[in-house]
Amino acid sequence: MATFKTLDDLEIAGKTLLMRVDLNVPMQDGRISDFTRIERIVPTVQELTRAGGIVVLLSHFGRPKGKRNPDMSLQPLVAALSDRLGQDIAFAEDCIGPEAALEVGSLSAGSVILLENVRFHAGEEANNKDFAAEMAKLGDTYVNDAFSCSHRAHASTEALAHLLPAYAGRNMEAELKALEGALESPKRPVMAIVGGAKISTKLDLLFNLIEKVDFLVIGGGMANTFLNAQGIDVGASLCEHDLADTASEILTKAEKVGCEILLPDSVVLAKEFKAGAENRTADVRDVKSDEMILDAGSSSAGLLKEKMDAAQTLIWNGPLGAFEIDPFAEATVSVAQHAGKLTSAGSLISVAGGGDTVSALAKAVVTDEFTYISTAGGAFLEWMEGKDLPGVLALKTS
């Protein structure tokens, strides 16, 4: 893994720190519906302010496409930030220019200010160096605590890191350490669970993982495509029939490199996808033409738990079934709870990420038991695919 400067390497007192965070939080009826991303930045902000720094928060919100849009202002987040940080937060109506400079310049040590949406300027998504230079004028040090945005080469995640001394915040540091421990230098055996609707969206991920893990569990609609490639009739199930050859290629390559792929041998079937639908559990080779596979069966879940007992590291991205609707969440929930139990007992390192995955683990009530749960969607997936992330590379020191 590359070397990154962290807050341990920084003399904070007297510094004005431009801190890139991810405040693109979900909103419903004008109110924040999930405070996780705000809560994740609190440790870094408080460490910086308590050590005498001035913290200048940079973030995007929504997709304003380089134009000022009042509906995508960050101003409504000030109250929530103030509450979580336990101090008043200032706000500037721009992220560059004289007004922002005046607001930042008026702050004393230990203060925090939130600047307006960086995406109100076209230079942000264009990774424009001149725009980054205007932001750089507002501080003397850069801290990136937004791993979830670091797969994008934008001005506030990439260009700015080259203009000021750059450091990883505590949230970024934790994410990088967790992912390194899961994929780059893991304790073996390593099990990966990859689920979701379609393999077409996760081909790079699958090809990368079979080179790095010992057991690869494929669940959800993705499993149907692999079953179909093996000549198993999946009935009316979601299936990418046109990717049968690709699925076969993955299976063949996995066998060559010694990665054991685990597919369901028993499945939960229903003729319609709705809450409380009439369903049955059957052998995977007993799917009728009008039935859909909507979950892994209990025997399949049991096998995964046995394999997990032998693993030391678990990486999880995607559910095993249509977990959003009961009764099709049982496999995902029971396997997640088993992973949580093993993690709590100290026998398993468990790292998970992706929006559906986080929701599924929350449903299983195990989010506090996993070693690390990433709030980064696209960045987490691209890291697992083996891709370099521009915002992370910009922090690299060797």
Residue 305 lies in a domain: yes
Give the integer Cα–Cα distance in Å for 226 and 162. Answer: 44
- pLDDT tens digits, 85-129: 999 999 999 999 999 999 999 999 999 999 999 999 999 999 999
Residue 1 lies in a domain: no
Residue 373 lies in a domain: yes
Residue 133, pLDDT above cutoff 50: yes
Residue 9, pLDDT above cutoff 90: yes
201: number of Cβ within 10 Å: 12
Give the integer Cα–Cα distance in Å for 122 and 65. Answer: 7
Residue 66 lies in a domain: yes
Give the integer Cα–Cα distance in Å for 175 and 188. Answer: 20
Provide the residue type at 194 as one letter.
Answer: V
The residues annotated with a catalytic role in the active site are 37, 198, 355, 378
Give the domain range for residue 40: 7-172
Query: Are 248 and 342 in a shared domain?
Result: yes
Query: Are 32 and 138 in a shared domain?
Result: yes
Q: What is the pLDDT of residue 1?
A: 47
Closest to 249 in 3D by CA, of 217, 206, 205, 218: 206
How much is the mean pLDDT over the chain?
95
Query: Are 147 and 207 in a shared domain?
Result: no
Cα angle 312, 318, 319; round to 5:
95
- pLDDT tens digits, 57-97: 999 999 999 999 999 999 999 999 999 999 999 999 999 99
Give the integer Cα–Cα distance in Å for 375 and 146. Answer: 10
Give the integer Cα–Cα distance in Å for 212 and 180. Answer: 12
- pLDDT tens digits, 19-41: 999 999 988 888 898 898 999 99
CATH number of the domain residue 126 falls in: 3.40.50.1260
Residue 395 lies in a domain: no
Residue 392 lies in a domain: no
Beta-carbon-side half-sphere exposure of residue 354 (alpha carbons within 13 Å):
21
Lowest-confidence range among 102-106, 118-122, 133-137, 201-205?
A: 201-205
Q: What is the pLDDT of residue 2?
A: 53
Query: Are 93 and 15 in a shared domain?
Result: yes
User: Is the Cβ–Cβ distance between 147 and 353 less than 8 Å?
Assistant: no
Place of tokens 């003729």: 271
Q: What is the pLDDT of residue 256?
A: 97
Query: Which of these three, 172, 203, 219, is where a domain ends?
Result: 172
Residue 391 lies in a domain: no
Query: Are 27 and 167 in a shared domain?
Result: yes
Instruction: Give the pairing of strands 266-270 and 292-296.
Output: antiparallel
User: Is the Cβ–Cβ distance between 205 and 381 less than 8 Å?
Assistant: yes
Query: Which of these three, 114, 149, 172, is where a domain ends?
Result: 172
Query: Which of these three, 172, 198, 233, is where a domain ends?
Result: 172
Give the integer Cα–Cα distance in Å for 279 and 293. Answer: 10
Query: Are 214 and 253 in a shared domain?
Result: yes
The total number of structural domains in the chain stands at 2
Give the integer Cα–Cα distance in Å for 206 and 196. Answer: 12
